[in-house]
Amino acid sequence: MRLSNAILRGISGAYILQSGLGKKDLPVEAYEGLQAMAATGVPQLKEWDAKTFGQALWISETALGAALLTPFVSKRLAGLALTAFSAGMLTMYFNNDSMTQDDGIRPTHEGTPLSKDVWLAAIGLSLVFQPKD
């Protein structure tokens, strides 16, 4: 693995792994809040049970973080997974009017934490489109 790939995968993978593990034992009320936010991007998530949503969320984030940190997972597969994850996060950003300014792109103060997921999308696409080693 190239050093540049290790840096891209290591930083984003460690961040996402920690985020997923941090959601493991949250109370149902916290899962309900996360679910409501996620449903602004993917409305079908409203239909899930909050505990099931929370479990799926922490497991999928943890799995994504682990895949990014595991060297034998191809960079393209890891990049596709990271791109899909960040696209899901960005749907919440773009579909929630309070997160963007009047132009629909620049973040408001409330939208800044989600707008940063554009960097995860860039990392994912970088891994996907790098030439073969």
In tens, the pLDDT along 55-110 reads 999 999 999 999 999 999 999 999 999 999 999 889 888 988 888 999 989 999 98
50 Cβ neighbours under 8 A, 6+ residues apart:
28, 31, 32, 35
Report domain extents, the chain: 3-129
Contacts 24+ apart (CB under 8 A), 74-81: 75/1, 75/5, 75/9, 75/127, 75/128, 75/130, 76/127, 76/128, 78/9, 78/13, 78/127, 79/123, 79/124, 79/125, 79/126, 79/127, 79/128, 79/129, 80/124, 80/128, 81/124
Whether the CB-CB separation of 83 and 128 falls below 8 Å is answered with yes
d(CA 62, CA 22): 9
DSSP letter (8 states) at residue 97: G
pLDDT at 126: 95
Query: Of 22, 60, 17, 18, whose CA–CA distance to 38 is shortest?
Result: 60
pTM, two decimal places: 0.88
